[in-house]
Amino acid sequence: MADAADPLHDLATRIYVELVARNVDLSSGSVKMAVTPANMAILSIRLSEAFLQAEAEASAARAPVKTYQVATDDIAKWST
């Protein structure tokens, strides 16, 4: 069982609920799903992993650069 504070678990749960809500056909006396609940769960986890990875990469790309290395040659180039 995943920790409820785990962002992957939280996002996967939200995706799963949304997928189920959109793919369940309720008619009088029957419930139909085109996809198995297990496949939807797997898809939810994979989608949340992909989203969190893309979000982390985008966040890292926006982060300020903190590892500047300025040499005396660089300063000389700026002053000319």
DSSP 10-71: HHHHHHHHHHHHHHEEEETTEEEESS-HHHHHHHHHHHHHHHHHHHHHHHHHHSPP------
* Residue 72 resides in a domain: yes
What is the tens place of the pLDDT at every residue in 2-17? 665 899 999 999 999 9
Q: For residue 70, give its domain range.
A: 7-78
pLDDT of residue 11: 96
Q: What is the pLDDT of residues 22-80, one digit of tens each?
A: 999 988 889 899 899 999 999 999 999 999 999 999 998 888 878 878 787 877 788 76
Query: Is 58 part of any domain?
Result: yes
* Whole-model pTM over 0.85: no
Q: Does a structural domain hold residue 57?
A: yes
How many domains, the chain? 1
pLDDT at residue 9 in the model: 95
